[in-house]
Chain A
Amino acid sequence: MTLATSTPPGADRDGFRLSMLIYDTRFRAITIQVVVLVLVLLLVGWLVDNTIQNLNAKGKDINFSFLWVRAGYDIEQQLIPYTNDSTHGRAVIIGLLNTLLVAIVGCFFATIIGVIAGVLRLSNNWLVSRLMTVYVEAFRNIPLLLWIVVIFVVTSETQPAPNEFKVTQAMVDSWQDDDPANDLEPTASKILFGTVAVTNRGSYMATPMLDRPLGSTEIGGVPVNFSVLAALAVVIGSILVNRAMLRRVKAQQEATGERPTTWWKSLLILFGPIALLLLAMGFHLQLPAFASDENGVSKGFNFQGGILVQHSFTALTLALALYTGAFIAEIVRAGILAISRGQTEASFALGIRPGRTMSLIILPQALRVIIPPLISQYLNLTKNTSLGIAVSYLDLRGTLGGITLNQTGRELECMLLMMLTYLIISLIISGLMNIYNNAVKLKER
């Protein structure tokens, strides 16, 4: 009867007939939705019921308590502290952070590579545009899996082993005499003023160290470093001050027509406070180096000190960046081509150089066309991080969907949790990007 009362005024009030549920467009929508709902409920009920029966037959239950059991395995790349005594739950979080790290770094580089390649593909330079075409087509038409494996192999096959950096007794002896011609040196050396050592097992980077740190605490198992917080606060503060300063200068320019020199002020405001803070805390870099005995002969298997960036991470990130970059290049190219030629011509007519035309006129307009497909590329990249399995990068799939699943045998729980996590990440990314997209969208009236 509730259906009959919802009949809009002016409609046939003769009464409600059953056949109106099918033939009356006002009610048909309701009928269809009810039927669909019942069918979907039936399907879900059927699936759940089957699951219960199957679990019963195997004597299993749905239980997430394994997440609080000792994991017992090690993870090579950990952004927050973790040992094999930590729980599976913490291993999952480590994996999640590793996934996010690859996704963020990958998206960053993919964007840079994609924009450069997309612009260069339209370059007047015949050779460069052809090279970019080869790059784009090669990466778009060969499975990502192959690229990940290939880059991984290249990084580990072409770089020197750590012991080629070692100083041996023979080298120390050769330095004793005065003749520099006889001196022996390690076959490999560090790059970037000794801050980075690229070996076949990963890159060892200099670690920033503080002599007088501000201490740290732990909130819910996550360490919080006050020094980092302080540095962040100072940097954000400097940026805000700098902005205020620039705003004032602009106001002055608009009032008087003269713009005071600001670059040295900006530099001072931006870098002065943080430099002072770091100086106060005793900042220095700990270079990666071998432990050595009193004669200077290196000992041990690996560099001591320094942050180790595993090649599985490097290869996965690089492959993802190059692969997604090829797709982004196409998007950028299409976006640029979508901007009418008149814009370029008008810009040239104003005497703006080609490089600046691109960065000031074309790209900002093309951005509106580029953003929506770019979002889906970011999403794809994030999902493709799960291919880290090919190089055994311990991301979310490697920990939760790999070792934890294997050790505990809880495939239902692990898989559901993993899917849910990926889903949430994807939804967050698309949500954020949509907000951004709405912000830059052409406001039409």
Chain B
Amino acid sequence: MKKSVFLGAFAASTVLAGAAFAGTLDDVKARGELICGSNVGLTGFGAPDASGEWKGFDVDLCRAVAAAVLGDATKVKFVPTTGETRFTALASGEVDLLVRNSTATYGRDVDLKLDFVAINYYDGQGFMVKKDLGVSSAKELDGATVCIQTGTTTELNLADFFKFNNISYTPVTVQDDSEAQRQYLAGACDTYTTDASGLAASRATMADSENHIILPEIISKEPLGPAVRHGDNQWGDIVRWTFNALLIAEEKGITKANIEEAAASSTDPEVRRLLGIEGDLGAMAGLDNNAFKNAIAASGNYGEIFEANIGTATPIGLARGLNALWTQGGLQYAAPFR
């Protein structure tokens, strides 16, 4: 008797514990708010502005997910996380979703029990040097002093690159992007290495940007994407397909401006499915049928989000490059929506 009660309590608590980690969708719906782990402040990708409103490339993906799940893109709370605290914040359930320019790697996927459900930015690690240094290739950096941010994959890539090319370097570790930029400008290091997008953003804001060049070598693959907890497949699906919906929308030319018109008049069956006119694909994932329509309406399709935050028209001025749609020679390729 006693034993059975004990086992009963045991089972109940296991279910409880399981529930706390599995039903992210239900949690979010019950809470009426999505909690998104974001960067503490990275220009163009995620930072609050003067009025406390979060803006950026990663932030807009969070908003799209919030719009898909809750039907309201403003019902999202951003929790700033540092390089050290980000994965723990996700694993402990403090945030529902981590969109913080984090690189998808084997170790993080398997050992840290995270799932990178999509890649929203294909990046690679590069080097920036001053023009007058007279260096045109990263392989000429033998003996150089390199500024590098701690707590990222970049320090491992750097060590690998220099080791592989049998040249030496002195690392100068720095805490964040603005500090790295200051050190580099002060000449405390010969070269600054981080994701190429970050380098471009830094270079764009420098007073004398023409005096700095980004070396041609990209020494690593840095697929950056949203991460969710391992084992909650439904939630992972929702995030993945929200992102895919943004890609398909760009592919099909659906923008924030013409989405209502497309919903009313489009005859393309995939568009009709995507916008919830036909079929009940949203409901399959436990959402409303017009969930993905809401997601696209929140801040536009993938291309619009890109251009508004980090594209060539912004001061950061990144070209689409690898992040162009597959139809334009890029890598962004969404599975069909059916």
Give yes or no for direct A-B contact (beta carbon below 8 Å).
yes
Chain A neighbourhood of B107, CB < 8 A: 407, 409
Whether, in the assembled complex, A431 has its beta carbon less than 8 Å from a beta carbon of chain B, the answer is no
Chain B neighbourhood of A53, CB < 8 A: 13, 17
Question: Which listed residue, A74, A153, A304, A389, touches B159 by the CB 8 Å rule?
Answer: A74
Task: A11 to B119: give the CA distance in the assembly, Å.
Answer: 81
Known A-B contacts A53-B17, A201-B145, A301-B145; A84 and B159 likewise in contact (beta carbons under 8 Å): yes
A161's closest neighbor in chain B, by CB?
B187
Chain B neighbourhood of A345, CB < 8 A: none
Known A-B contacts A73-B159, A161-B187; A411 and B88 likewise in contact (beta carbons under 8 Å): yes
Whether, in the assembled complex, A353 has its beta carbon less than 8 Å from a beta carbon of chain B, the answer is no
- Judge whether B186 and A157 touch: CB under 8 Å: yes
- Judge whether A302 and B144 touch: CB under 8 Å: yes
Task: A322 to B169: give the CA distance in the assembly, Å.
Answer: 32
Whether, in the assembled complex, B83 has its beta carbon less than 8 Å from a beta carbon of chain A, the answer is yes
Chain A neighbourhood of B186, CB < 8 A: 156-157, 200
Chain B neighbourhood of A304, CB < 8 A: 143
Q: How many residues of chain A get a CB closer than 8 Å to chain B's CBs? A: 41
- Judge whether A201 and B188 touch: CB under 8 Å: yes
Q: Which of A1-9, A258-266, A390-398 contacts B (4 or more CB under 8 A)?
A: A390-398
Chain A neighbourhood of B62, CB < 8 A: none
Give min CB distance, A386 to chain B, whole Å. Answer: 13
CB-contacts of A377-411 with B (<8 A): 389-392, 394, 398, 401-403, 405-409, 411
Whether, in the assembled complex, A137 has its beta carbon less than 8 Å from a beta carbon of chain B, the answer is no
Question: Which listed residue, A59, A156, A308, A389, touches B183 by the CB 8 Å rule?
Answer: A156
Chain B neighbourhood of A311, CB < 8 A: 188
**Most chain B C-beta atoms within 10 Å of own C-beta, residue among A72, A73, A304:** A73
Whether, in the assembled complex, B2 has its beta carbon less than 8 Å from a beta carbon of chain A, the answer is no
Whether, in the assembled complex, B174 has its beta carbon less than 8 Å from a beta carbon of chain A, the answer is yes
Task: A304 to B17: give the CA distance in the assembly, Å.
Answer: 58
Whether, in the assembled complex, A17 has its beta carbon less than 8 Å from a beta carbon of chain B, the answer is no
Give min CB distance, A420 to chain B, whole Å. Answer: 19
Chain B neighbourhood of A310, CB < 8 A: 172
Whether, in the assembled complex, A183 has its beta carbon less than 8 Å from a beta carbon of chain B, the answer is no
Q: Which of B148-156, B202-210, B267-275 contacts A (4 or more CB under 8 A)?
A: B148-156
Question: Which listed residue, A56, A157, A302, A392, touches B143 by the CB 8 Å rule?
Answer: A302
Give min CB distance, B112 to chain A, whole Å. Answer: 4
Give min CB distance, B219 to chain A, whole Å. Answer: 14
CB-contacts of A7-63 with B (<8 A): 53, 56-60
Known A-B contacts A58-B91, A84-B159, A156-B186; A405 and B173 likewise in contact (beta carbons under 8 Å): no
Task: A212 to B252: give the CA distance in the assembly, Å.
Answer: 77
Q: How many residues of chain B get a CB closer than 8 Å to chain A's CBs? A: 46
CB-contacts of A93-144 with B (<8 A): none
- Judge whether B143 and A76 touch: CB under 8 Å: no
Known A-B contacts A74-B159, A392-B175; A409 and B112 likewise in contact (beta carbons under 8 Å): yes
Give min CB distance, A431 to chain B, whole Å. Answer: 32
| CB < 8 Å A-B pair total | 99
Give min CB distance, B73 to chain A, whole Å. Answer: 31
- Judge whether A403 and B155 touch: CB under 8 Å: yes
Whether, in the assembled complex, B170 has its beta carbon less than 8 Å from a beta carbon of chain A, the answer is yes
Task: A403 to B149: give the CA distance in the assembly, Å.
Answer: 10
Question: Which listed residue, A74, A157, A406, touches B151 by the CB 8 Å rule?
Answer: A406
Whether, in the assembled complex, A300 has its beta carbon less than 8 Å from a beta carbon of chain B, the answer is yes
CB-contacts of A159-181 with B (<8 A): 161
Chain A neighbourhood of B111, CB < 8 A: 408-409
- Judge whether A58 and B113 touch: CB under 8 Å: yes
Chain A neighbourhood of B143, CB < 8 A: 300-302, 304
- Judge whether A76 and B159 touch: CB under 8 Å: no
Contact digits for B124-136, partner A, Cβ 8 Å, 1 yes 0 no: 0000000001000
- Judge whether B171 and A76 touch: CB under 8 Å: yes
Give min CB distance, A139 to chain B, whole Å. Answer: 23
- Judge whether A57 and B83 touch: CB under 8 Å: no
Whether, in the assembled complex, B163 has its beta carbon less than 8 Å from a beta carbon of chain A, the answer is yes
Whether, in the assembled complex, B182 has its beta carbon less than 8 Å from a beta carbon of chain A, the answer is yes
- Judge whether B113 and A398 touch: CB under 8 Å: no
Chain A neighbourhood of B163, CB < 8 A: 84
Question: Which listed residue, B20, B91, B151, touches A403 by the CB 8 Å rule?
Answer: B151
Task: A268 to B171: give the CA distance in the assembly, Å.
Answer: 45
- Judge whether A390 and B87 touch: CB under 8 Å: no
Give min CB distance, A445 to chain B, whole Å. Answer: 56
- Judge whether A392 and B174 touch: CB under 8 Å: yes
Task: A409 to B92: give the CA distance in the assembly, Å.
Answer: 13
Question: Which listed residue, A74, A84, A200, touches B187 by the CB 8 Å rule?
Answer: A200
22 contacts between A and B (CB under 8 A): A56-B17, A57-B17, A57-B21, A58-B21, A58-B91, A58-B113, A59-B230, A74-B159, A76-B172, A76-B173, A161-B187, A200-B186, A310-B172, A392-B172, A392-B173, A392-B174, A394-B173, A401-B84, A403-B150, A406-B83, A406-B151, A409-B108
Residues of chain A having any CB pair with chain B under 8 Å: 53, 56-60, 72-76, 84, 153, 156-157, 161, 200-201, 300-302, 304, 308, 310-312, 389-392, 394, 398, 401-403, 405-409, 411
Residues of chain B having any CB pair with chain A under 8 Å: 13, 17-18, 20-21, 83-84, 87-88, 91, 107-108, 111-113, 133, 141-145, 150-152, 155-156, 158-160, 163, 169-175, 179, 182-183, 186-190, 230
12 extra interface residue pairs, beta carbon distance < 8 Å, beyond A74-B155, A156-B186: A53-B13, A57-B17, A59-B230, A72-B156, A73-B155, A74-B169, A76-B172, A300-B142, A302-B145, A392-B174, A392-B179, A406-B152
Closest 5 CB pairs of A and B: A161-B187, A392-B173, A84-B159, A409-B112, A301-B144
